[in-house]
Amino acid sequence: MLSTLFQKFNSILFRCLYPFLAVTLFLSCSEEPGIESFSIPSEYEGPIVSWKLPPNWGENPDLSGPMAGSFHVKTKSGPQGRIGVMPFRENVSTVDVANMFGREMGYPPFTQENLSPFLQEKKIGDRTFEWLSLNSKIDIASSPPRTALLALLRQENDTWLFPFIADQKLVREESENFIQFLKSCSLRSEKNKPILAKSPAPLPKISKSISTKSPKNPWSWSKPSSWSEGKASSMRVGSFKVTGPNGTQLDISVTSFPGDVGGLLANVNRWIGQIDLAPIQKTSLDQYCSSITLAGSSAHLVEAYGEEKGVLAGILFLEKESWFFKLMGNRSLAEKEKSNFISFLNSISLQEETE
């Protein structure tokens, strides 16, 4: 079955391509009919992706960070593991990807030299993936050991990352399904352009670099009293939730990724798509975005509301990585929590390093 994301892209593409050759009849001075043809370019320039899920996999409704797709394995104990589809720019390095997940698995920072024993090439169908498997080095008595299986595909101007994070046993059991899933993926970008757009704002430089050597959470902040701790995830350094009347909820996440992960336009289009709004072009960014200062650096505030859901987000592009502070969920609750979210963003500062 096609993914929910692809179904949305499909409807957008249909609207764009169907009138590609529009025909207009008109009368000339001699009153004889003539035909004028012209092309209407596609308005969408983002990633186009589809996949076929194994029967025992399900889709996760919420996407955090630069995720184009998120899935789990259905088990007797409920949903287990996390599988993702993450589009990146071409210049994302394998070392950065390894460090992004390795620090959560207990590994010291990787370099090109010490990463090589963990890295191999794997041929799947007619494509070659960089294949990286990291077994957890952190022993937790109450939890089984975990594995981060990372498949990285470089395709012309596009880079795609497919992480599979789960208990080691589940990763082994689902390895063949994971391979078949990768084989089924159809990935392309409109007109062979990079799948993600550059941020129109210059990337600010800061005096302190936030790298894999920094603490897991380099920020300090003040949490609003209406927020409670949310579900922990290897992709998040902060996770909160808000529960409103009639079971309404908001999910608040703090995530980071290497590079600019596509910049402002790509992330805005992905998030507004999650609340059932149509994608926009770069010239319309001010419809949902405004400039703010976050932790002393220039940043972006995203605010958008669909019929039922809303999203608020602070985006901070640093020299070597990007940070996303995002709130998403019920529209009425999101509007009510806007002032608390802005206060949360204003409270964020870089923690002082200790010797």
Domains of the chain and any CATH numbers: 4-39 (no CATH), 47-192 (3.40.1000.10), 219-350 (3.40.1000.10)
Band (201; pLDDT cuts 50, 70, 90): very low
Distance in angstroms (rounded) separating the CA atoms of residues 90 and 143: 36
Predicted pLDDT of residue 169: 93
C-alpha dist (Å) from residue 158 to 87, 285, 338 = 7, 23, 35
DSSP assigned state of 247: G
Tens of pLDDT along 138-193? 655 446 788 999 999 987 767 889 999 999 999 999 999 999 999 998 876 544 44
C-alpha dist (Å) from residue 30 to 17, 23, 33, 35, 37 = 33, 20, 9, 14, 20
What 3-state DSSP class applies to 153?
strand
Task: Identify which has the larger pLDDT, 352 or 41.
Answer: 352
Whether 340 contacts 226, CB under 8 Å: yes
Predicted pLDDT of residue 124: 93
Residue 23, pLDDT > 50, answer: no
Distance in angstroms (rounded) separating the CA atoms of residues 32 and 41: 29
Residue 30, pLDDT > 60, answer: no
Predicted pLDDT of residue 336: 95
Q: Which of 25-29, 157-161, 259-263 is the most confident on average?
A: 157-161
Contacts of 111 (CB under 8 A, 6+ apart): 95
Residue 51, pLDDT > 70, answer: yes
Cα dihedral sign, 328-334-340-343 = positive
pTM over 0.85: no
Distance in angstroms (rounded) separating the CA atoms of residues 63 and 47: 15
Band (18; pLDDT cuts 50, 70, 90): very low
Tens of pLDDT along 224-255? 999 999 877 667 888 999 999 888 999 999 98
Predicted pLDDT of residue 206: 39
- Mean pLDDT estimate for the chain: 76
Cα dihedral sign, 85-89-91-92 = negative
Residue 331, pLDDT > 70, answer: yes
Burial class (CB in 10 A: 0-12, 13-18, 19+), 339: exposed
Tens of pLDDT along 103-124? 777 788 888 888 888 899 999 9
Distance in angstroms (rounded) separating the CA atoms of residues 164 and 157: 23
